[in-house]
Amino acid sequence: MAVAFDEMNIPGGDLRPAYQELARWLKETPPEALEYRRQEAELLFRRIGITFAVYGEAESTERLIPFDVIPRIMSGKEWALLEKGLKQRVRALNMFLRDIYHGRDILRAEIVPDDLIFQNPVFRPEMNGQQVPHDVYVHIAGIDIVRVDAENFIVLEDNARTPSGVSYMLENREIMMRLFPDLFARHRVAPVERYPDELLSALRSVAPQSASGEPTVALLTPGVHNSAYYEHSFLADKLGIELVEGRDLIVKNNEVFMRTTEGLKRVDVIYRRVDDDFLDPLTFRPDSVLGVPGLMSAYAAGNITLANAVGTGIADDKAIYSYMPDIVKFYLGEEPILKNVQTWRCREPKDLAYVLDNLGDLVVKEVHGSGGYGMLIGPAATKATIEAFREKLKREPEGFIAQPTLALSTCPTCTASGLAPRHVDLRPFVLTGSKRTTIVPGGLTRVALKEGSLVVNSSQGGGTKDTWILDE
C-alpha cells in the first residue's frame, strides 16, 4: 500500500499552507495543555449528553464518540471544488430518483441494469408515479469523501436515506470555540452555525401545496433508544420544531396531525429519521410500532412531505454507486467533478474472478451493509477470515462489491504517544430545497484512532474532529 497523503506535512518537512498557523500554535502549546483540553472536551460531551447508543449492548449504554481536539483544515480553494462537485452529484441523485420512479429513461438507455433496481429490496414500488413536491427526493444528503492526494477527493459513499452526524459537526465546532478561542483568533474559519436555518428553510420550501400559510415541520424520531437520538433532539431544538414519535402522530382524512395539549394540529413536512421499513405499518412492516398508520396514504394524497422521500435508498445502494459517474453524465451531460473509487461489481463474473484472485488486497463490502459491519479489509485480515469471505462471495456474489484499499489521507491526531498521523474521511451535508442546493462549509471529519486503521465508523471505535474551511 502506498504511503498515505498527509494533510499537514509534505514529506521532507515542509508544511502545507493551510496548516502553518496551527503548526506554530502547536509548537507554543505544551502537550499537557492539549491533554487537559481533551479531558475538558470529554467532560463537556458527557455533560451535554452528546452520546450514541451501540446496538446489541444493554439499552442503557450510551457511548461518547471520541473527540480529537486537533482540527482538520482545508483551504477555501479546496472547498470550492468540493462544493461544486457535491452539488453536481446531489443534483444527479435527485434526477435519478425522479426518473427511476417515473419515466425510467436511464433504464431504457441501458446505463443501469433493470434488475439492480427491480430486484433491489430498497426499491419502493409504492413510489412509482408518485409526485413528490418540487421533485426533491434527497433533501439531506451526507456524502462520504476521502482524500488520496493533494488534488483528488473521492466519493466513498452517498448517504441518501437518513444520513446522520451533522450534530457532531455543529457540536464539535461549539466545543472547539469554547476550548480554543485563541486558535480561532489566529484563523479565519468559515462558520457552520447556519446549518439549522438552512435546513429549516429547505424543509419549509418543499411543503405540499395543501399546507396553509406557514408550513408546520416536525422531526420524526424512532425514540430515545435509537443510536442517533441525541442528534434528533439536537436538531429539533435548533430548528425550533417538534420532535415527534410515531405515537404522537395520527392520520385523519389523509392528513397528518400531531396530538398536542390544544388538540390535533396539522403537520405539513416531516423530517423523518425513521427508515422506510418502519414508516407506516399499513404499507411496510406491519409489526412496526415506530411509524404512523396511514402515513403513506397521506403521502400519496399529497398532504405531507417526507424528507428524505420514501425510496431514496435505491440511490445510495452500493450496487448503484458504481454507476454514479454514468448517472451524472446521463442527466447533466457533464463530467463528474468528484471521482468514484474504482469498484468491482461481484455480480459480474469477470469482476468476481478478479476479486477472488485479489482478496488480500481489496476491501469487500456488503451491497446493503452500513456502519462498517460485515466488510472485509483484505490487507488487514487473517488468512482464515479471507477464506471464509471467499466462500460467502461465491455463495452470493451479487451481495458484494469490492474496492481497492485506498491510501486515505491522514491528519495529525492526539494519541497516547503524542501527535501522530491518523486516517480521516469527511462527510459534508448537502441540503436541497425547492429552489436551491446549499452546503455549509465543512462537514463531519471522522478519524480512525488506531494506528494504521482505515475504519472511521463510530460503531467501530472511530472518533471525530472539527473541520475547518479557511475563508481566504
Partner 1 sequence: MLSRTAENLYWLARYVERAEYLARTIDATLRVTALPAAYIGKTNEWDSALLTAGVAASFYQTHEEANEHNVVDYLSFSADNPSSIRNCIEAARLNSRSVRTALTSEMWDTINSAWIELQAVWSRGTSTREDLAKFLRFVQETSLRFDGSAYRTMLRNDAYWFSRMGVHLERADNTARILDVKYHVLLPEEEHVGGPLDFYQWSSILRSVSALTAYHWVYRETLKPWLIADLLILNDTLPRSLASCYGNLVRNLDQIGVAYGRQGPAQRHARGIRNRLEHSNMNDIFQHGVHEFIQEFITDNSRLGEIITKQYLI
Q: What is the DSSP string of 56-112?
A: TS-TT-EEPPPEEEEEEEE-HHHHHHHHHHHHHHHHHHHHHHHHHTTT-HHHHTTSS
The dihedrals phi and psi of 369, each to the nearest 5 degrees, come to -80, 165
Write 242-245 long-range contacts (CB < 8 A, 24+). 242/218, 243/218, 243/219, 244/218, 244/219, 244/220, 244/270, 245/220, 245/221, 245/290
By CB under 8 A, name the one of 244, 274, 304, 315 that touches partner 1. Answer: 244
Determine the interface stretch with partner 1 among 209-217, 235-243, 427-435, 463-471 (rule: CB under 8 A).
Answer: 235-243
Contact 33, 65 (CB under 8 A): no
Q: Does 123 bind partner 1 (CB under 8 A)?
A: no
By CB under 8 A, name the one of 260, 373, 388, 472 that touches partner 1. Answer: 260
Determine the interface stretch with partner 1 among 44-52, 116-124, 191-199, 311-319 (rule: CB under 8 A).
Answer: 44-52
Q: Determine the 3-state secondary structure of 408 from DSSP.
A: coil
How far is 40 from 314, CA to CA, in rounded Å? 42
Write 330-335 long-range contacts (CB < 8 A, 24+). 330/106, 330/109, 330/111, 331/91, 331/92, 331/95, 331/96, 331/99, 331/106, 332/88, 332/91, 332/92, 332/95, 334/88
Residue placing its CB nearer to partner 1 in the complex, 258 or 380: 258
By CB under 8 A, name the one of 10, 54, 109, 224 that touches partner 1. Answer: 224
Interface size with partner 1, residues (CB under 8 A): 22
Q: Does 258 bind partner 1 (CB under 8 A)?
A: yes
Residue placing its CB nearer to partner 1 in the complex, 223 or 374: 223
Q: Could you tell me the smallest distance in angstroms from the CB atom of residue 424 to partner 1?
A: 30
Q: Does 245 bind partner 1 (CB under 8 A)?
A: yes
Which of the 8 DSSP states describes residue 315? H
C-alpha cell at 388: 471464509
Q: Does 259 bind partner 1 (CB under 8 A)?
A: yes
Determine the interface stretch with partner 1 among 3-11, 221-229, 285-293, 423-431 (rule: CB under 8 A).
Answer: 221-229
Q: Kindly identify the residues of this chain, within the stretch 437-456, that bind partner 1 according to CB under 8 A.
A: none
How far is 269 from 217, CA to CA, in rounded Å? 5
Determine the interface stretch with partner 1 among 45-53, 89-97, 162-170, 392-400 (rule: CB under 8 A).
Answer: 45-53
Determine the interface stretch with partner 1 among 46-54, 75-83, 280-288, 393-401 (rule: CB under 8 A).
Answer: 46-54
Q: Does 47 bind partner 1 (CB under 8 A)?
A: yes
Binding positions for partner 1, rule: CB under 8 A: 46-49, 223-224, 229, 233-234, 236-237, 242-245, 247-248, 258-262
